[in-house]
Structure 1
């Protein structure tokens, strides 16, 4: 069983000065990358810029200290933008803090109960669908600041945003738009010049200097949010009540699932980069603790950030020390340089998030999925995508999971079949299967049925075919290809048994696997059928059938 032990305590046994230096350098570089992103993501989420840094500092440090990955970098990510914006719009900052803490508690419980592996059962079509939907939501949310459109509070829902833009598009500011285009161009072209220093930082510096010294009429963080706090956040528990908590359960659960998926996906990606293996359950505990304390200190939801984690690895980070240095570096920036952040132009931050949305959209994966996937998977993908865009993430994930489960059950029902055996001439022997019925002698008073596939409620009606012919004296049910069964299938077997008993037909079972047999034994079905009528092989079942005397009907 996987250990609930943070990676930090394992890797420090052989820690060296050389690796410490590499971790410090990597941590500082990642902090530089995280700085504009944390501020931009906070603003896009509808909260003050400082809250993004609070999250990166507090949650980032805790996730690295207690986490199950050597190189995971935690902090705010784009995945939460839409749901945070919706929570703030409906419940305010206190509601967001409560939801963040609740999500953290859920993640801690997932880890403590060692349920980290369950996240892998969320279908790829759902994660791809809501990720693409989030990207669309982030992009549409940046149009106002990117173009400098003069309008009131921006609606939370997609249709409302589009309607508001249409009504106010004539008020756009050409200077703002040009600054946004300049920032976007720098971020696109800068990686061709230098891949170490992030293009977002260069875009922020360049556009800030231009707007400041040219005295351009462009909104900045300062003009929108006033003076930014340069103090360490204070601990505060929000006012709450049972009614608010009950309403926030669904959003908190969505945050917990999103954070779990993204953090564990980031761990898997980084494992491949450094040849390591993360501990998923303690990682979920760390992510949960990070979110709890992020909320208690005024931050927003956090998770493992794939892009920042990859940057950490590429710059030499190999232990959790790098993530802790990243958090401490951001703390120094908060305490010493935060007032300067007020000069950053809003269109530059919007440009950063447009690039984030583009990278997040995974349009290549979406195209591949559309071209290569069956219709059922496409239904799940488009349902999740459209629900995310037009409604909200909670509804999207719920609808996607329900639809995926229903379609999965439909497919399982289609592959489960009940096949009857009849007497076959010896010339038709199947030499590839020594257990084939064509090589067996079936008594004339006997019918043999083989069930292939899982026995569950989606295919329960098929099992009643077994008693469609009541003229025989013996029915053998072969279950060598049944790996599992549920209570609905068990109920169907009870119905089969009752019909057989009514018509004096002896029911015999051959090769029942461990899981189905355990269910039959718990319900005393085996006793009702007769223990002598459970045979280990089809040969034994046929021999048993041959000894049964015909009943005069």
Structure 2
């Protein structure tokens, strides 16, 4: 039904024709994706400003709910690099409780977006904005990892981008050579592993090799200068946390609504982009509204367990597809694998070097940067370049909330300017070719009596064009007897256009000039009727074709000449 909520989780339809063969394929894919997701969940958790087990909890609970309730057969949910910057900023400003409330509110926003069928609208967010903030996030993630990569000794790392680099340069005399070696070696392992085996996850291999290396140095050679997860966070808890309540009031809602909105918009964009990319590979079609509801429910649930925002992860989703996963069962198995690791292997995770995780995140930031896409977009129209550069700079220098808000505003303004410039308002007298501007080869010329002016609007009659039309009208020096406004190429009219049209009609009537509308399509005519403007114009003077309008105008002019 048209008015019903579009919530149809793919899992339930996938299970109708499920088979042993599909399960074995999903099992293999789920296990591999779980292994791939392990180092990323830990790294994203730490980089976001929470403990590593929080990243894993997010991947377990969020990943399960996204697969169980989502609108894509192959989407893998969990923490992603895109959220590192905003999550870290929220923790700095509002603490962990503020993050939990913001994530919960973002989940509600996502559910509402899905319920109101806004899944398709998200896809219309301009591409330069998506590329701009994604590249900005990539640079910011890279910046946050410099301390751990070089093993710098710093008490407090500044929050903003420029101050971070100033502090880094002031502390470069404290570089830890072994930490840098581990970080650089991790990067090399991740980069070159695919050349040896496409199946083997490079990030996991880097963590295993570098963890063994650091452990051997510490236990057998007494070298403990390589900082590990355990050194920073102590013993890690392998118990599933008990759900905790959230203290929400109007003050916290007002404070956290902007970052919650940013989390929701970013999560919607990333998850639907991931699902769209997956559709292109599998030939499937995701349900965007169901996907938003599923993502929303996941983000409503994870804050009660201390988790961070959840969204669809493109890299893990593609890993799932490439290893044979074709139903949401693979995503559920991926969550189960992570839960097993969480319960059994958590004590070993504290041995992972921090510089190794920095190497993993530097590769993530490089893959996110999309520098080739940025380079190609710099050759596009200046308006797109302006949106891209503005969004990128605001993301890096300020924060993602401001970047998305101003980026969207700038994109809308530039779009309206471009549309307004392309809308033409022309004036005709004496003769009118009714086929002009169409593809027909049959031309018919209408004679227009003296005292009639025809104004044609070519494009939408909205607030960006209304002023332009008014200027054209005022520029005409001769006062006609009849004005015909030809609207055959006007797909819609907004309130400003209606207001200007009403002023034109009323002022023309005061001057003794009759206004006739021509070629009004049913939608525009219905809008005019609802605002009662048809009563001001006169129903007989709203025509569906120019021939009728010209005949009415010629008759009116003839009657006026007879009266005179």
Q: TM-score range by the shorter chain?
A: over 0.9
Match of residue 304 from structure 1: 312
Give 3-state SS (helix, strand or coil) of 1:138's partner. Answer: helix
Please tell me whether the aligned partners of residues 86 and 399 of structure 2 are also in contact (alpha carbons under 8 angstroms): yes
Match of residue 389 from structure 2: 382
Please tell me whether the aligned partners of residues 230 and 236 of structure 2 are also in contact (alpha carbons under 8 angstroms): yes
Please tell me whether the aligned partners of residues 254 and 394 of structure 1 are also in contact (alpha carbons under 8 angstroms): yes
Hey, what's the Cα distance between the residues in 2 that align with 1:98 and 1:153? 26
Q: CA RMSD in A?
A: 1.8
Hey, what's the Cα distance between the residues in 1 that align with 2:510 and 2:277? 60
Match of residue 335 from structure 2: 327
* Shift in alpha-carbon separation, 1:431–1:359, aligned structure 2, 3 A: closer
2:151 to 148, 152, 162: 148
Please tell me whether the aligned partners of residues 470 and 503 of structure 1 are also in contact (alpha carbons under 8 angstroms): no
Corresponding position: 1:488 with 2:496:
yes
Hey, what's the Cα distance between the residues in 1 that align with 2:141 and 2:356? 15
Deviation at 1:233, TM superposition (A): 2.0
Hey, what's the Cα distance between the residues in 1 that align with 2:135 and 2:227? 29
1:439 to 438, 442, 445: 445
Deviation at 1:425, TM superposition (A): 9.9
Give 3-state SS (helix, strand or coil) of 2:427's partner. Answer: strand
Match of residue 202 from structure 1: 205
* Shift in alpha-carbon separation, 1:230–1:523, aligned structure 2, 3 A: same
1:386-397 equivalences under 5 Å are: 386-397=393-404
For structure 1, which runs of at least 5 residues remain unmatched after alignment? none
Please tell me whether the aligned partners of residues 108 and 284 of structure 1 are also in contact (alpha carbons under 8 angstroms): yes
Hey, what's the Cα distance between the residues in 1 that align with 2:13 and 2:22? 15
Match of residue 326 from structure 2: 318
Match of residue 95 from structure 2: 92
Match of residue 358 from structure 1: 366
Hey, what's the Cα distance between the residues in 2 that align with 1:320 and 1:450? 54
Structure 1's consecutive aligned runs of 4 or more residues displaced over 6 angstroms after TM superposition are: 428-431
Between 361-370 and 521-530, report the one with greater CA deviation.
521-530
Corresponding position: 1:407 with 2:414:
yes
Match of residue 14 from structure 1: 17
Please tell me whether the aligned partners of residues 204 and 348 of structure 1 are also in contact (alpha carbons under 8 angstroms): yes
Corresponding position: 1:547 with 2:555:
yes
1:36-435 equivalences under 5 Å are: 36-215=39-218, 216=223, 217-371=225-379, 373-424=380-431, 433=440
Hey, what's the Cα distance between the residues in 2 that align with 1:293 and 1:430? 57
Deviation at 1:109, TM superposition (A): 1.0
Hey, what's the Cα distance between the residues in 2 that align with 1:335 and 1:483? 60
**1:357-387 Cα deviation digits (max 9, x unpaired):** 000011111001002x100111111100000
Deviation at 1:550, TM superposition (A): 2.7
* Shift in alpha-carbon separation, 1:475–1:103, aligned structure 2, 3 A: same
Give 3-state SS (helix, strand or coil) of 1:185's partner. Answer: helix
Deviation at 1:3, TM superposition (A): 4.2
Give 3-state SS (helix, strand or coil) of 1:476's partner. Answer: strand
Deviation at 1:498, TM superposition (A): 1.8
Please tell me whether the aligned partners of residues 29 and 323 of structure 2 are also in contact (alpha carbons under 8 angstroms): yes
**1:423-478 Cα deviation digits (max 9, x unpaired):** 3599x999965686x72211122111111111111111122223534522111111
2:524 to 505, 516, 522: 516
1:432-511 equivalences under 5 Å are: 433=440, 439-464=445-470, 465-466=472-473, 468-511=476-519
Deviation at 1:241, TM superposition (A): 3.6
Hey, what's the Cα distance between the residues in 2 that align with 1:425 and 1:219? 82
Hey, what's the Cα distance between the residues in 2 that align with 1:364 and 1:66? 35
Deviation at 1:113, TM superposition (A): 1.6
Hey, what's the Cα distance between the residues in 1 that align with 2:436 and 2:296? 61
* Shift in alpha-carbon separation, 1:434–1:545, aligned structure 2, 3 A: farther
Please tell me whether the aligned partners of residues 445 and 550 of structure 1 are also in contact (alpha carbons under 8 angstroms): no
Hey, what's the Cα distance between the residues in 1 that align with 2:256 and 2:6? 32
Give 3-state SS (helix, strand or coil) of 2:447's partner. Answer: coil
Deviation at 1:486, TM superposition (A): 0.8
Hey, what's the Cα distance between the residues in 2 that align with 1:221 and 1:432? 70
Give 3-state SS (helix, strand or coil) of 1:449's partner. Answer: strand
The aligned length equals 550
**1:64-86 Cα deviation digits (max 9, x unpaired):** 00111111100000010000000
Hey, what's the Cα distance between the residues in 2 that align with 1:489 and 1:390? 39
Please tell me whether the aligned partners of residues 116 and 281 of structure 1 are also in contact (alpha carbons under 8 angstroms): yes
Deviation at 1:534, TM superposition (A): 1.2
Between 461-470 and 331-340, report the one with greater CA deviation.
461-470
Deviation at 1:15, TM superposition (A): 0.4
TM-score normalised to structure 1 length: 0.97
Give 3-state SS (helix, strand or coil) of 1:151's partner. Answer: coil
Hey, what's the Cα distance between the residues in 2 that align with 1:470 and 1:494? 21
Hey, what's the Cα distance between the residues in 2 that align with 1:143 and 1:432? 62
Please tell me whether the aligned partners of residues 65 and 320 of structure 1 are also in contact (alpha carbons under 8 angstroms): yes
Please tell me whether the aligned partners of residues 38 and 76 of structure 1 are also in contact (alpha carbons under 8 angstroms): yes
Please tell me whether the aligned partners of residues 432 and 448 of structure 2 are also in contact (alpha carbons under 8 angstroms): no
1:518-533 equivalences under 5 Å are: 518-533=526-541
Hey, what's the Cα distance between the residues in 1 that align with 2:453 and 2:477? 9
Hey, what's the Cα distance between the residues in 1 that align with 2:456 and 2:546? 10
* Shift in alpha-carbon separation, 1:432–1:16, aligned structure 2, 3 A: closer
